[in-house]
Amino acid sequence: MTKVKYIGNYYKVMFDKDKVYDLIGVVDGLYKVYSDEFEDWGLFSPEDFEIVSTSNVKR
């Protein structure tokens, strides 16, 4: 699974800045990212994340 680090503005979403999350897919050009803290996923702009490790991402 690909890991991404949130580099966006923390006040916009449920993610902590600089924390690493699981990228579970790409939907219509948006990253589908899972948050363990909220046990939920959402679709977000790739501009708000930095890929820190890669594997096969389902498209």
CB-hemisphere CA count at 13 Å for 19? 14
Residues with Cβ < 8 Å from 8, sequence gap 6 or more?
15, 17, 44, 45, 47, 48, 49
Q: Any idea where the domains of the chain sit in the sequence? A: 2-53
Q: Quickly state the pLDDT bin for 27 (edges 50, 70, 90).
A: very high
Above 90 in pLDDT, residue 15?
no
- Count how many residues are written for the chain: 59
Mean pLDDT of 2-14: 81
| pTM for this model (two decimals) | 0.78
Mean pLDDT of 23-49: 91
**Tokens, residue 50:** 């930095």
Tell which CATH architecture fits domain 2-53: Roll (2.30)
